[in-house]
């Protein structure tokens, strides 16, 4: 019998209880799944970093923590966590949701939809967007989400460049992507981008990676789309770049302080679109299958998938 603790906000249990049981039953494992188990009996924790579980010391037989979120910055540096930590990588749910959100907002900016939707003067003004082939897009961050978004955008005809902090295996780089890695190549990756999509993790190395210097490397009038992490953007520098026209618009789904304070200048700026951290969410049905498969792998003595590199923080 293996014991699995579900540790997340209480309202999430109703969404995950049945899907997790269906997925775990399909593995044939003998298990107990509960929100309340003796700490010293727990083998696995299905975990949200905002749960009440913050001290992992009592979990003396813990084999792994299976994160429900793609982001792990709120747990990876927990000094009490010594068991393996797996992040959520869910192509059928979370990844697909991100692809749809990113593609929608890239197309919104590419086609100039705001020019049409926001017109209130009843004047018939015609504008023509270029074809996608003439609108270069750069994606910063090239893990599972970045790779999937790149493939979708290239399928629509956009030229796509990608940048990551470290070199990716050649098999992870779709044909046609102009790929850059390492800090020194970042200005080159940004140089031609009319639209930049931020999908980097939040680490000490990526904090404020969008700053006055990197925005200056972009063509004047570029657009920034951030469904990644709020810590990626120097907010004061972004406001200054919008004021000068260096950045024509920013669509932001994540922020350094969430919820975004009511008096934050982003709300009132006509060149900034605020969305409430909705770019993509973990879908219980598909996420449950990822979790159950990972537990089954571990029980068979196989390596866990999507393990977090503690040194890299993701």
Q: Return the active site residues.
A: 229, 277
Give the whole-angstrom CA distance, residue 77 versus residue 181. 25
Cα 16 to Cα 222: distance, rounded to the nearest angstrom: 41
Q: Give CA–CA dist 28/297, Å, rounded.
A: 12
* Phi, psi (rounded to 5 degrees) for 3: -110, 125
Token output for 280: 């993509």
- Rounded to 5°, the CA angle 231-237-242 comes to 115
C-alpha gyration radius of the chain: 21
Helices (H), the chain: 10-27, 96-111, 113-117, 144-155, 186-190, 212-216, 235-244, 284-299
SS3 sequence, 46-59? EECCCCCCCCCCCC
Q: Determine the Cα–Cα distance for residues 43 and 298; give it in Å rounded to an integer.
A: 11
Smallest CA-to-CA distance from 125 within 136, 116, 112 is with: 116
Interacting residues of 187 by C-beta distance below 8 A, sequence separation 6+: 214, 217
**Three-state SS at 34:** strand
Neighbours of 166 (CB within 10 A): 8
* CA pair distance 274, 271, nearest whole angstrom: 10
- The CA distance from 306 to 292, in Å, is 13
Measure the CA–CA gap between 262 and 58, rounded to whole angstroms.
40
Distance, in Å, from the CA atom of 57 to the CA atom of 42, rounded to the nearest integer, reads 12
């Amino acid at each position: 019998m293996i014991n699995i603790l579900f540790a997340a906000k209480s309202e999430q249990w109703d969404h995950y209880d049945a899907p997790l049981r269906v997925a775990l039953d399909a593995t044939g494992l003998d298990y107990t799944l509960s929100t309340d188990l003796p700490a010293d009996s727990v083998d696995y924790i299905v975990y949200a970093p905002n749960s009440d579980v913050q001290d992992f010391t009592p979990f003396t037989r813990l084999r792994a923590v299976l994160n429900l979120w793609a982001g792990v910055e709120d747990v990876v540096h927990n000094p009490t966590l010594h068991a393996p930590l797996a992040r959520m990588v869910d192509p059928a749910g979370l990844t697909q949701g991100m692809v749809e959100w990113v593609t929608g907002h890239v197309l919104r900016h590419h086609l100039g939809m705001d020019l049409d939707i926001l017109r209130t003067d009843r004047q018939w003004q015609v504008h023509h967007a270029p074809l996608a082939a003439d609108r270069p897009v750069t994606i910063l961050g090239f893990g599972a989400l970045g790779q999937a978004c790149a493939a979708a955008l290239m399928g629509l005809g956009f030229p796509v460049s990608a940048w990551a902090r470290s070199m990716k295996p050649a098999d992870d780089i779709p044909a046609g992507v102009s790929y850059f890695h390492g800090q020194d190549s970042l200005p080159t990756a940004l140089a031609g981008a009319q639209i930049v999509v931020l999908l980097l993790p939040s680490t000490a190395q990526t904090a404020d990676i969008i700053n006055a210097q990197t925005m200056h490397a972009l063509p004047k009038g570029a657009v920034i789309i951030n469904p990644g992490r709020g810590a990626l953007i120097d907010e004061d520098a972004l406001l200054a770049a919008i004021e000068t026209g260096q950045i024509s618009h920013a669509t932001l789904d994540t922020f350094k302080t969430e919820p975004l304070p009511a008096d934050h200048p982003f709300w009132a700026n006509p060149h900034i679109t605020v969305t409430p951290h909705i770019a993509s969410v973990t879908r219980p049905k598909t996420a449950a299958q990822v979790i159950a498969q990972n537990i089954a792998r571990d029980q068979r003595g196989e390596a866990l998938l999507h393990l977090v590199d503690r040194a890299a923080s993701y």
